[in-house]
């Protein structure tokens, strides 16, 4: 396969990409080769796939089961999930998961890290997600996190179940320190999960301080343990929303500690902007972690989808460009460089957090790429265009038509097109 005349995320234009044996063989101008399939990108953006490094596949598409979240809070979402959990079956989880994966692939997602609740002694969710991972592996990479949703110590069998989940093939160690009974229990859970990660050679990704509490200190403990145990590059703090509300002096010290430790961060803009600040009257906090400040300190920051139509969030469509778009608004991060970094936060940064092999657009990388109906990353985030071609291993997995409308207004008949070249240089 050859993809002609691509614009790459780094700004290179007029680039051809030669693919064979499932790998990118050459990248450059005017590549001459015979190919079975040729795709003319016509100057459009060609990127490695979108990556979602924070999701809950076991809860997705369950909206309304068994009822809706009335308060809109994280805590009612957890209570509601606990009403649904005993009713879950492997068949239903698999069916909803496959349906979501179809939507994800059609929109150019190549890999998803999904947290899987282990606080159900049946481990029906774990078994369903391990099965789902195998079923979709030829077209979508799933990475599973053993997530003790009800608290590692608060739920009596959580630790035992977490170990069982790892034995069943779950990849990453999860946790939720801010949901433990006390700050001290939360602190201990961070230490225990990091030590487990060090002993087993596993990655660690904790839901950490997903609260509006300015005095929560689990992020500090997490950075400390990451540094003490030398886990940099394998450890991720998800949400970190308490940092939004912290004292500015303390946050400036904490961000330096996070950077020093090598920990990465994941913000989930769609969810954090709707779940945080729910106990405020006015002014009402936005609640996202300090993305530009973390980036400036050199901390890799990715954006995750987190939820689609589940007990915590009734919206969502599986589109990582929608996630990036919300990040630009809710952080806010509106300079051209920042919008480009929002695109990186749903592509290259989460790929590095998940330690995905062969990700990128250089010779030797996997031939996984998407052709977007946009001129560049800024325009992609702005208009969330159709993914015209979704390619994995050199084969087209999905195609979409460009977005156009036929217009019939006085004096302006014709087709309306969206984007393509309107973005500033």
Site size with Fe ion, rule: CB under 5 A: 1
CB of residue 304 vs Fe ion: minimum separation in angstroms? 7
Distance CA 329, CA 306 (A): 17
- Identify which of 262, 221, 264, 261 has the alpha carbon closest to the alpha carbon of residue 354: 264
Q: Which is nearer to Fe ion, 57 or 361 (CB)?
A: 57
**3-state secondary structure string, 357-397?**
CCCCCCCCCECCEEEECCCCHHHHHHHCCCEEEEEECCEEE
Question: How is residue 317 written in tokens?
Answer: 């469509």
Q: What's the closest the beta carbon of residue 288 comes to Fe ion, in angstroms?
A: 14
Helices and strands (H and E) in the chain: how many: 14, 18
Catalytic center residues:
210
Q: How far is the CB of 237 from Fe ion (least distance, A)?
A: 12
Contacts of 119 (CB under 8 A, 6+ apart): 85, 148, 149, 150, 151, 155, 157, 158, 161
Binding mask 247-266 for Fe ion (x = CB under 5 A): --------------------
The tokens for 310 are: 């589940």
Specify which residues 264 forms β-bridges with. 236
* Cβ proximity to Fe ion, 47 vs 149, nearer residue: 149
CB of 239 to Fe ion, least distance (A): 7
Biggest alpha carbon distance in the chain?
71
Residue placing its CB nearer to Fe ion in the complex, 115 or 384: 115
Q: Give the nearer residue to Fe ion in terms of CB position, either 104 or 390.
A: 104
Provide, rounded to whole angstroms, the least separation between the CB of residue 247 and Fe ion.
Answer: 26
Binding positions for Fe ion, 293-312, rule CB under 5 A: 306
d(CA 132, CA 136): 6
Element spanning 225, H or E: helix 218-228
329 three-state secondary structure? helix
Rounded to an integer, what distance in angstroms lies between the CA atom of residue 314 and that of residue 61? 9
Other C-beta atoms lying within 10 Å of the C-beta of residue 173: 26
Q: Which is nearer to Fe ion, 7 or 272 (CB)?
A: 272
The HSE-up count of residue 365 (CA atoms within 13 Å, CB side) is 19
Q: How far is the CB of 112 from Fe ion (least distance, A)?
A: 12
Q: Nearest to Fe ion by Cβ — which residue?
A: 306
CA distances from 79 to 56, 59, 66, 83, 116 (A): 16, 13, 11, 7, 16
Of 120 and 306, CB closest to Fe ion: 306
Sign of CA dihedral 117, 119, 120, 123: positive
Q: Least distance (Å) from Fe ion to the CB of residue 284?
A: 21
**Secondary structure (3-state) at 342:** helix
Cβ-based nearer residue to Fe ion, 147 or 153: 147
Interacting residues with Fe ion (CB under 5 A): 306
């Amino acid at each position: 396969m050859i993809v002609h005349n691509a614009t790459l995320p780094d700004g290179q234009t007029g680039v051809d990409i030669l693919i064979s044996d499932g790998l990118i063989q050459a990248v450059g101008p005017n590549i001459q080769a015979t190919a079975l399939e040729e795709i003319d990108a016509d100057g459009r953006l060609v990127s490695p796939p979108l990556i979602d490094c924070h999701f809950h596949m076991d809860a997705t598409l369950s909206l309304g089961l068994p009822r809706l979240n009335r308060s809109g809070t994280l805590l009612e979402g957890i209570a509601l999930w606990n009403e649904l959990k005993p009713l879950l079956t492997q068949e239903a989880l698999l069916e909803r998961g496959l349906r979501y994966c179809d939507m994800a692939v059609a929109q150019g997602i190549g890999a998803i890290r999904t947290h899987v609740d282990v606080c159900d002694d049946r481990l029906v969710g774990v078994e369903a997600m391990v099965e789902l991972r195998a079923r979709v592996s030829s077209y979508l990479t799933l990475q599973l996190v053993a997530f003790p949703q009800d608290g590692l110590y608060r739920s009596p069998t959580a630790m035992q179940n977490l170990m069982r989940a790892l034995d069943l093939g779950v990849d990453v160690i999860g946790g939720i320190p801010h949901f433990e009974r006390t700050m001290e229990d939360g602190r201990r859970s961070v230490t225990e999960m990091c030590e487990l990660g060090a002993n087993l050679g596993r990655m660690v990704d904790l839901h950490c301080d997903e609260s509006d509490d300015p005095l929560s200190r689990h992020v500090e403990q997490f950075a400390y343990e990451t540094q003490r145990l030398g886990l940099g590059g394998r450890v991720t703090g998800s949400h970190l929303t308490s940092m939004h509300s912290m004292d500015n002096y303390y946050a400036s010290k904490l961000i330096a500690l996070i950077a020093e430790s090598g920990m990465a961060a994941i913000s989930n803009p769609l969810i954090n902007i709707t779940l945080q600040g729910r106990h405020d009257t006015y002014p009402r906090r936005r609640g996202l972690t300090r993305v530009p400040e973390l980036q400036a300190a050199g901390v890799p920051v990715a954006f995750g989808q987190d939820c689609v139509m589940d007990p915590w969030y009734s919206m969502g469509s599986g589109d990582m460009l929608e996630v990036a778009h919300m990040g630009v608004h809710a952080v806010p991060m509106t300079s051209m460089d920042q919008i480009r970094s929002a695109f990186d936060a749903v592509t290259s940064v989460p790929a590095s957090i998940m330690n995905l092999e062969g990700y990128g657009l250089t010779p030797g990388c996997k031939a996984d790429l998407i052709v977007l109906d946009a001129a560049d990353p800024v325009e992609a985030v702005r208009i969330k265009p159709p993914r015209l071609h979704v390619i994995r291993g050199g084969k087209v997995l999905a195609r979409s038509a460009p977005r156009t409308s036929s217009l019939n207004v006085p004096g302006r008949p014709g087709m309306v097109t969206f984007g393509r070249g309107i973005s500033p240089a």
